[in-house]
Structures are given as C-alpha cells and as structure tokens.
Amino acid sequence: MASYSELLKTPGVARIIAAQLTARFPSGMLSLAFLLHIEQTTGSYGSAGLVLAATSIGQAIAGPLTSRLMGRLGMRPVLIVTTILCVTGIVSIGLLPLTVPLYMIVGFITGLATPPVQPAVRTIYPKMVNSRQLTPLFSLDASAQEIIWVVGPVITTLVATQIGTIWAIMLAAVLMVVGGAWFISSPELGRVRIPRSKRKFGVVLSRPAVLLATVVGFLLIGACAAVEAGVVAVFGHGGPEAGLVLAIFSVGSLAGGLLFGHIPIGPWATARRMFIVFAGMALAAFVMDFWWLSATLFIAGIGIAPALAVLFSIVSSSVKFSDTAEAYGWVGTGQLIGAALGSALAGFSIDGYGAQGAFWIAAGFAFVGVLVPALGRRWHPDLRGRDASPIPDTEPVPMQPS
C-alpha cells in the first residue's frame, strides 16, 4: 500500500485520476439505465440487449479511430466534440419515444461519439511518473475505476426504481458534462502531446501483446456484461438488490486490485487472474439468491482489476509512445465488442431460459478467457524485473558538417 501512497503524492496524479474517473462515471450508469429504460418501454430484455449491443458496437468502431485522431488533432478538440455529440445521443434515448430500430440507431451514434477518455489518460500516465511507478499506477487506476462500478449501479438502480428510468439517464448525461469539462480542462492535457504515428492504421494490432490484451479484454468484459444483465433479470425493478449485488461484484474487483495489483507480471499472470473470475462466475450460476450471488460475484470480482492492470501493462511495454493511444483504443474496442456480444447473448438467454442462462453465458466467456492467455503465454511479456514504460519514439538526428 505504501507504493500507492507514494503515487498519490506525485504532483498531478491524484487530480488526473479523479478527473478521468468523474468523466467516465456515466459508463457505470448507462448500460444499466438503458437496460431498465428500454425493457420498461418495450417489455423485452432481448430488445434492450440489442440496443446495448448497438451502442457498444458504435463505441468499438470509435475506439481506435478517435484515439488515433488525438495524435493528429490534439486531445482537447477530439474530447470536446465527442462529449457534445455523446451527451446529445444519451438525452435523445431518455426523452424521445422511439421504436427499437430507432433506439438502436441512436444508441449506435451515441456509442460512436463516446469520448476517448480512457486512451487519453493511459497515454498521459507514462509522462507523469517514473518507470518504476508505472505498473502500480495502472493497478491503482484499474482499482479506482471500480468506484464507477460500485457506486454507478447503486445510484442508477435507486434513481430508476424510486424516481424513474428517464431521470437515471439524465443524471448520467449531467455527470458526463461535468466530468468531461473537468478532465478536458486538466493541465496535463496541454502538457502532453501524442506524437503522430508513422504507421498505418491498425498495424499496432499486429503486436502479439496488443492482440492478446484485446482478445482477453473482449472475453473479460463480455463475461461482466452477461453478469450485469443476469443480476438485473434475477431481481427486476422492484428494489435495490440488483444494484447492491453489482456493487459487491465491483467491491471485489477494487479489493483485488489494491491487494494483488503490485504482484510482478509473469507469462502466467493473465491466466491466473482470469481463473479467479471464471471460478466465481461458474459458482454464481448455480443459485439465484441474493447472498449466494453476492458472495460468488465478490470472488469473481477479485480477479477483474488485477487482470485489467496486467492488460494495460503488457500493452504499454510493447508499443512505441506514438502508438499507445491507438493500442488502447483497440483494447477498448475488444472490450466493447465483448460487452455488446455478452449483453445480447445474455438478453436472449434470459428470454429463453431465465436469468440463470445469463450466468452460464458469463462463465463460458470467462472460461475461454482463461484458455486464451494460457495457450498464448509465449506472446505474453514477462515484466518481472522490467518496467512497463512505452518504447521511446526515435528519429534521426541531423548532423552538421565539421
């Protein structure tokens, strides 16, 4: 814990973590708010899952594109435009009486305009701390972001059930405006400039570590999205139980990140952490009870933040600084495609087989998430005794004739 205390004393670190968490806080609200609102409007979890999938696909397409644009146009212009467009889409879903196809179109556009806050801050971090502090910073960030998933679902569930689903969506829109303004105005966005990449778009995905992180992130977040849909289906709209279970799930991730995030990263690191996630989700699928789900999902959560910290570290250590934003964009795209597929499969499974089906979908995603890094460990960077700093960009230095 001393390493985390030292990190927070580094100038600007605590502020930029707080700003980006606030800017991203709606991420912990919108999926659940859209799910509750659209299910209430259409009467179908399958329809709600399709809208969530369309939104996530839009985010997935935007991820590497807007991240790469930050290297060409600058971080602030890209973040300002995308925030305005995204908030407009969120408000439209909350207020306009739409059919399911129109909800899907607006959701897709909203996802396409999602502000690339995560790639921006992951690119800034290596310029704020020394190489020894970078892996603990990724771990602290992965743990701190669980505040989004602890508080967000609780607030969303309480507001949606006690006041109305529209108000839950509007609250998320207001927080996106406030958080986005705080993050965009942060001094670090002006001090750090992302160099323009000299490589063709998408080439960074050919790096084995980036591809591995993208695939594992797809499976991990797909499992989490299925769990979220399953928990909501178990407890419905009648009380706060769904939000509380999801909060406990995230508390497990927060605890795991703080307790185990500093462990050195070897070739088996991702597979071990994903096995914890799989074990908890597989156990959860057996009993649809508040206390059983709370306990088993807490166990599953213990592996999530440590797994994410490993993914961020192996990407950072494997690419040049000019490619980091695009690399994190691709990782984010993998996660969002996972969220889309996990939500959609869980929604149809709930309609066909009940809430329990969503947990078996989640366990399946997590099981493959163990196999992939285990089979691909030869491409997994061994960071024991190494730092996770990006590879420096080098250019020829012109020499004057003597």
**Domain of 306?**
14-193+203-379
pLDDT value of position 85 = 94
In a domain, residue 397? The reply is no
In a domain, residue 259? The reply is yes
In a domain, residue 329? The reply is yes
Yes or no: say if 230 and 240 are a contact pair by the CB < 8 Å rule: no
Place of tokens 């892996």: 135
- 122, burial (CB in 10 Å: exposed 0-12, middle 13-18, buried 19+): buried
In a domain, residue 67? The reply is yes
Yes or no: say if 358 and 266 are a contact pair by the CB < 8 Å rule: no
In a domain, residue 328? The reply is yes
Yes or no: say if 46 and 351 are a contact pair by the CB < 8 Å rule: yes
Write out the two tokens for 217.
């992130």
In a domain, residue 8? The reply is no
CA distance linking residue 272 with residue 310, whole number of Å: 11
The closest alpha carbon to 74, from 187, 195, 178, belongs to 195
User: In CATH, what number is assigned to the domain containing residue 289?
Assistant: 1.20.1250.20
What DSSP designation does 196 have? Answer: P
pTM: 0.76
In a domain, residue 6? The reply is no
Report the residue count for the chain.
402
What DSSP designation does 205 have? Answer: G
pLDDT value of position 271 = 92
Q: Structural domain tally of the chain? A: 1
Residue 185 contacts by C-beta under 8 Å, 6 or more apart in sequence? none
In a domain, residue 388? The reply is no
pLDDT in tens, the chain (402 residues): 556 677 777 777 888 888 888 888 888 788 788 888 888 888 777 788 788 878 878 887 887 888 778 877 888 899 999 999 999 999 999 898 888 899 999 999 999 898 988 888 877 887 777 766 777 777 777 777 767 766 777 788 788 878 888 999 999 999 999 999 999 988 878 777 776 666 677 677 778 888 898 999 999 988 988 998 898 888 875 667 887 888 888 888 888 877 876 677 888 888 999 999 999 999 999 989 899 999 999 999 999 888 888 888 888 777 776 677 778 778 878 887 787 788 778 888 888 888 889 999 999 999 999 999 999 888 887 776 665 555 555 544 333 443
* b/e sequence 85-108, b meaning 16+ C-beta within 10 Å: bbbebbbbbbeeebebeebbbbbb
pLDDT value of position 400 = 41
